[in-house]
Amino acid sequence: MKTITVNVSEPVYEDFQRFARKVDRKTSELIREAMEAYRQQHMQRRTSLRDLRPASVGGAILPITSEDDLLGEMLHDPRD
């Protein structure tokens, strides 16, 4: 494990300390978990649309002509 120095505001650190006491854990553990959660949500590679396999969702509700507005077709269901 790598030791690092991080500068945080006093109120933020105090919040971590207070919560760590409440859950009977070390402040450093909570900070490591917070860093890992950030890494997973923001830094790890997500699946690209190119990696996904196509799925069949059925046929068109109505035939589409060259004059149709495709966005309008997607946003409006004529069955409504």
- Residue ranges of the domains in the chain? 10-45
Query: Does pLDDT of 78 surpass 70?
Result: no
In this prediction, residues 31-60 reach a mean pLDDT of 85
The secondary structure of the chain in percent helix, strand, coil, rounded to multiples of 5, reads: 50, 0, 50
CA-closest candidate to residue 27, choices 36, 14, 40: 14
Contact 79, 61 (CB under 8 A): yes
Q: State the average pLDDT for the chain.
A: 86
Which pTM value belongs to this model? 0.55
By percentage, how much of the chain surpasses pLDDT 90?
48
By percentage, how much of the chain surpasses pLDDT 70?
92
- What phi, psi does 58 have (nearest 5°)? 95, -170
Query: Does pLDDT of 11 surpass 70?
Result: yes
CA-closest candidate to residue 33, choices 10, 16, 55, 46: 16
Give the DSSP H/E element, type plus range, for residue 63. none
Query: Does pLDDT of 42 surpass 90?
Result: no
